[in-house]
Structure 1
Amino acid sequence: MTATPTTAAKAPPGAARTPGRRPSLPVLLLAVAAALALFSAVRLVTGADDITSVGQVRSALELAIPIGLAGLGGLWAERSGVINIGLEGMLILGTWFGAWAGYQWGPWTGVAMGILGGAIGGLVHAVVTVSFGVNHIVSGVAVNILAAGSTQYLSKLTFEEAPGGGSATQSPRVGEIERFTVPGLSDAMKALNEKHWFFVSDLAGFVGGVVTDISVLTVVALLLVPASYWILWRTPFGLRLRSCGENPTAAESLGVNVYKYKYVAVVVSGALAGLGGVFLAEVASSYYREGQTGGRGYIGLAAMIFGNWRPGGLALGAGLFGYTDSLNLRSGGTSVHALLLLLAVLLVLAAAWQLYRRKFVSAVTALVVAAGLAFWYASTDEVPTYFVTMAPYVTTLLVLALSAQRLRPPRAVGDPYRRGTGK
């Protein structure tokens, strides 16, 4: 019987599931509650009430969105088998095009143009890697360099003479996307959070952070996470796309147009990164500024890897990096100092788990590091400024190091593919 694309959607070889049983929803909710209780306990011990305040959570959410959108773009590309190191450049294109169109024709036109700018970067990467077979890393680095250089030139050409205060490195002011607050619920959560009760106030802080002064674009970005999961894991289109990243030869034998799916995935990847750039230009600030992305494309890739190429894990990783960055911007050394105790407790728990699994070297290493952090916390009142600034990047390195052993990327990611050659 001849295979058809529908058959491929049902059972393409190579589209293997990640081994291991995934935790159920009650188990996940219990884990979240335990983590929040630990946060609350550390807050009470250290007196650092701001680590779960409404303002802290709202700031962390806004800082996490560009990282999460970049990581989501990387997820789409790598699930199709294409490594997208060029996410940083696509973020840059999104910021520039979003600001360029936004200050002239309004913020929503800026959103559309920023998405288009990122998609153009994705299209360039797709042409070079999919059609011409260039190494994915080399192509991605070239996209980053091209985006940075071209936007610098375009800024001098357009913003320097623009009315409204533009310069060679900064656009005129862009109108912000509409914001909203959920009436009643926001005030109630703030009131509960300010009482500083165990667990209840911390939970109120997290809920209040996502219902207070939130941009419409933030809601759109959050909805893109479950939407991506549904498309990639619950539709025939998603199954075909993922089969291209697992075993493109087998997918081809079942009638899947591998080139088409790779192109679609990489262009969508660029569009998502472009939307992250628009967020930086129109929500996190009100203008484009040279160097605005600050390596968030690379951190988005780290969040994607931490999430094991799954949308839920990616969102958790982006939230972690955004939260660490928000501590740096809002609270400085005091809150980061409190987190030293939290890290020490987490490492003790990790050591206990490693002992249970009879991995004694890992357990001893975790205990030694935990002891060092506990000593640092007990012997100081505040961490140095330079460490606070480094905290988001140190977190990136630690997360990647700790999660490396459980990762399972798509099997054919980064591999060259040529139709009809069997490889």
Structure 2
Amino acid sequence: MTAVSTVRRRLRLPYILMGAAGLLVLLSLVRTLTGADDVTSSGTVGAALRLAVPIFLAGLGGLWAERAGVVNIGLEGMMILGTWTGAWAGYQWGPWIGVLVGILGGALGGLVHAVATVTFGVDHIVSGVAINILGLGLTQFLSGLLFTTEAAKALGGGERQSPPVELINTLTLPVLSGGELFGWKSPDALGALERHHWFLVSDVAGILRGLTAGMSVLTLVAILLVPLTYLVLWRTPFGLRIRSCGEDPYAAESLGVNVIRMKYAAVVMSGAFAGLGGAFLVTAHATVYQDGLTGGRGYIGLAAMIFGNWRPVGLGTGSLLFGYTDAMNVRGGGDSVHALLLFVAILLVGVAVWQLVRSTRAPVVPGELAGTARRNARLSAAVALVAAAGLLVWFFRTDAVPGELVSFTPHLTTLLVLALASQRLRMPAADGEIYRRGEAR
């Protein structure tokens, strides 16, 4: 690593913090102008975090597999397996046993994917789609077989749902976010600040309270997986071997790396993380397994992984973005999404200004390439301004967003984010390639 790249990495964190602070100020301004208090309320933030965790865990599974060079489209199927097995074990032996069995269920799906792609050389996409179909069909069959017994029916089970599962305990910081401590009813300092609806102060209080009130223990485990994954994959010899298999497996093989073993380990881990995300849904989010409970979160997790450029911090950011838009759908409804139209319009104006500034800077490359870069920057600025104008017209001419569009917001966000982030992505070089031991390219 050069000295220049090291300096850039050190400067990146202050810029990120400044950008986050700017977005918070803008969001607070929009909330104050529109009166849509749910935009930054603690309930919305808590719901966003809860909805983001299964997306993040599915995306984390995709990150492990693709860093080893195996595309894992089967995250949704592995997540379904984790959800079903977690519910089956959870209602009988408690939520933590359900979590462990859910991890094993997802890992089993990962093992099937590894056998198909690594050992038999099946196309990764074909195998992933087969895992999704298998997960859906197998869980429906098992539900009809095991959730319709007399014992399960007595507890509320049926052909398409499990008996209720006890939820994992939650954590609340006393004094700051309320709750009880040894029978003592704690004050709620952040909640008091939030209820005043002051500019910025109440927004910060609402966000902090959403992060510190009623957080599931499993959510805390998921948050800790961000630095843990970074340390394992980027700071250990094991992680280096995993990533080398995704960049150039034949070069890794020439250096003594057992590529097949590394790929198996990464893909089984991938399934385990997806299974953990599925188990989260029945032990920390809902109380029963039902058909369709995952709701495509495996696919959205894959999109969050791509948005995060195959890195855990970026994946976490993308997951929070998708979780937030989903929380807007669940809690805020049309009014909050309508307020976000103004927020996005102002952001697009900022993007247009930034692109225009870029077009006037001294060129980094000479000649025709510099002219092309200027034209592209100006074109991007024009598109952003047109989109901002359209959103502003929409905002001022309507009072709310139709319910059909509100429910589609998370999926629309997925498409827009992937389209906007596609220019800066860099996937592992050998991602999706069929590897054969001892063969040259």
Same fold (TM over 0.5): yes
Distance in 1 between the 2:411 and 2:218 partners? 26
Question: 1:397 is matched with which residue?
Answer: 415
One-letter amino acid of the counterpart of residue 171, structure 1? S
Distance 1:19 1:46, change over 3 A: same
Q: CA deviation at 1:30?
A: 1.4
Q: CA deviation at 1:20?
A: 11
Question: 1:185 is matched with which residue?
Answer: 176
Distance in 1 between the 2:278 and 2:6 partners? 35
Question: 2:225 is matched with which residue?
Answer: 224
What percent of counterpart residues are identical? 64
Distance in 1 between the 2:109 and 2:31 partners? 44
Q: Write out per-residue CA displacement over residues 78-129 of structure 1, whole angstroms, 9 at most, x where no aligned residue.
A: 0010000000001100100000000011111101100000000000001100
2:351 matched to 1:360?
no
One-letter amino acid of the counterpart of residue 287, structure 2? S
Question: What do you get for the CA RMSD once the two structures are aligned?
Answer: 1.4
Moved more, 144-153 or 158-167: 158-167
Question: 2:283 is matched with which residue?
Answer: 282
Question: 1:247 is matched with which residue?
Answer: 248
Q: CA deviation at 1:176?
A: 0.8
Q: CA deviation at 1:21?
A: 4.3
Question: 1:67 is matched with which residue?
Answer: 55
Question: 1:269 is matched with which residue?
Answer: 270
Question: 1:387 is matched with which residue?
Answer: 405
Question: 1:170 is matched with which residue?
Answer: 161
Distance in 1 between the 2:206 and 2:133 partners? 41
Question: 2:110 is matched with which residue?
Answer: 122
Q: CA deviation at 1:207?
A: 1.1
1:272-421 alignment, distance < 5 Å: 272-358=273-359, 359-421=377-439
Distance in 1 between the 2:430 and 2:357 partners? 34
Distance in 1 between the 2:252 and 2:72 partners? 21
Question: 1:148 is matched with which residue?
Answer: 136
Name the SS for the 1:411 alignment partner.
coil
2:198 matched to 1:210?
no
Moved more, 31-40 or 381-390: 31-40
Distance in 1 between the 2:236 and 2:198 partners? 44
One-letter amino acid of the counterpart of residue 209, structure 1? G
One-letter amino acid of the counterpart of residue 321, structure 1? F
Distance in 1 between the 2:287 and 2:221 partners? 19
Question: 2:257 is matched with which residue?
Answer: 256
Question: 1:3 is matched with which residue?
Answer: none
Q: CA deviation at 1:19?
A: 12
Name the SS for the 2:212 alignment partner.
coil
2:84 matched to 1:96?
yes
Q: Write out per-residue CA displacement over residues 306-356 of structure 1, whole angstroms, 9 at most, x where no aligned residue.
A: 001111111010000000001111111000000000110111111112222
Distance in 1 between the 2:239 and 2:396 partners? 51
Structure 1 unaligned runs (5+)?
A: 1-10, 12-17
One-letter amino acid of the counterpart of residue 80, structure 2? I
Distance in 1 between the 2:119 and 2:357 partners? 50
Distance in 1 between the 2:306 and 2:358 partners? 24
Distance in 2 between the 1:33 and 1:197 partners? 17
Distance in 2 between the 1:204 and 1:132 partners? 54
TM-score between both structures, scaled by the size of structure 2: 0.90
Distance in 2 between the 1:346 and 1:182 partners? 34
Q: CA deviation at 1:24?
A: 2.7
Bigger Cα Rg? 2
Q: CA deviation at 1:38?
A: 1.1
2:69 matched to 1:81?
yes
Name the SS for the 1:332 alignment partner.
helix
One-letter amino acid of the counterpart of residue 118, structure 1? G
Question: 1:15 is matched with which residue?
Answer: none
2:156 matched to 1:138?
no
Q: CA deviation at 1:393?
A: 0.3
Question: 1:44 is matched with which residue?
Answer: 32
Moved more, 273-282 or 159-168: 159-168
Q: Write out per-residue CA displacement over residues 20-60 of structure 1, whole angstroms, 9 at most, x where no aligned residue.
A: 94453222211111111111111111111111011110011
Q: CA deviation at 1:357?
A: 2.6
Distance in 1 between the 2:248 and 2:196 partners? 55
Distance in 2 between the 1:189 and 1:396 partners? 32
Question: 1:194 is matched with which residue?
Answer: 195
Question: 1:5 is matched with which residue?
Answer: none
Q: CA deviation at 1:361?
A: 1.3
Distance 1:55 1:151, change over 3 A: same
Q: CA deviation at 1:194?
A: 1.5
Distance in 2 between the 1:311 and 1:31 partners? 19
